[in-house]
């Protein structure tokens, strides 16, 4: 069986995004080995003074770290290792302030590691995740699929670009407009669930 990593940030009580994750799990639990990473409970380390400099010195400078220094990077390194061993990656998150919840961005900063998940080559940057596919499940209060908000969507493009950088092409299933279309949100969720079935049947 192939391995699927679900990267989940759905802490709100009654979360709409969680309905999509639950559908994905319920539909696929017998088709793939699922590892569930709950970013609201297991939060990556922000890149601050100590760990950022250790990361830069090690990954960009080739400096060998002491065991103690390596421990400082261990948590984020584990997140990077997790994506390297996944065949499929699902990221489920709402849009926050046109972009990603900080915890989800912290996860992106943890997994995007030169020398581990991407490399600089003569042809440019190359993702080191091989044969991995991604799916973004996202909800937002307003409709970001049309203007005036479409050009302000820094959430799905950011995830698609960063996952692309590490070698993971992504598909997106969104429920944009959970508040704007409150009267028809159930139908939008049902459509998204159908799309989850379609992508899942293609994957497994």
Q: Which residues are near ligand FMN by CB under 6 A?
A: 10, 12, 15-18, 94-98, 139-142, 178-179
Q: Which is nearer to ligand FMN, 156 or 178 (CB)?
A: 178
Other beta carbons within 10 Å of 200: 19
> What stretch of H or E contains 164?
helix 156-165
Q: How far apart are CA 21 and CA 6, in angstroms?
A: 8
Nearer to ligand FMN, 78 or 179 (CB): 179
Cis ω on the peptide bond leading into residue 24 (within 30° of 0)? no
Q: Smallest distance, Å, CB 106 to ligand FMN?
A: 15
Report the residue number, 86 or 192, with the smaller CB distance to ligand FMN.
192
Neighbours of 62 (CB within 10 A): 8
CB of 14 to ligand FMN, least distance (A): 7
Q: How far is the CB of 99 from ligand FMN (least distance, A)?
A: 7
Smallest distance, ligand FMN to C-beta of residue 3, A: 25
The HSE-up count of residue 47 (CA atoms within 13 Å, CB side) is 15
Residue placing its CB nearer to ligand FMN in the complex, 113 or 142 = 142
């Amino acid at each position: 069986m192939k391995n699927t990593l679900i990267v989940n940030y759905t802490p709100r009580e009654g979360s709409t995004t969680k309905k999509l994750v639950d559908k994905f799990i319920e539909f696929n639990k017998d088709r793939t080995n699922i590892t569930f990473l709950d970013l609201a409970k297991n939060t990556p380390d922000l890149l601050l003074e100590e760990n950022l400099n250790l990361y830069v010195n090690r990954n960009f400078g080739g400096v060998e770290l002491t065991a103690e220094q390596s421990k400082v990077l261990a948590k984020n390194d584990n997140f990077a290792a997790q994506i390297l061993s996944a065949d499929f990656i699902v990221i489920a998150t709402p849009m926050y302030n046109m972009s990603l919840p900080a915890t989800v961005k912290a996860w992106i900063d943890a997994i995007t590691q030169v020398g581990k998940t991407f490399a600089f080559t003569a042809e440019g940057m190359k993702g080191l995740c091989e044969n991995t596919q991604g799916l973004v499940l996202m909800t937002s209060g307003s409709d970001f699929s049309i203007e005036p908000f479409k050009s302000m969507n820094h959430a799905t493009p950011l995830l698609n670009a960063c996952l692309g950088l590490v070698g993971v092409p992504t598909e997106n299933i969104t429920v944009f407009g959970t508040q704007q279309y409150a009267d028809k949100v159930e139908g939008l969720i049902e459509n998204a669930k159908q799309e989850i079935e379609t992508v899942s049947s293609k994957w497994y």
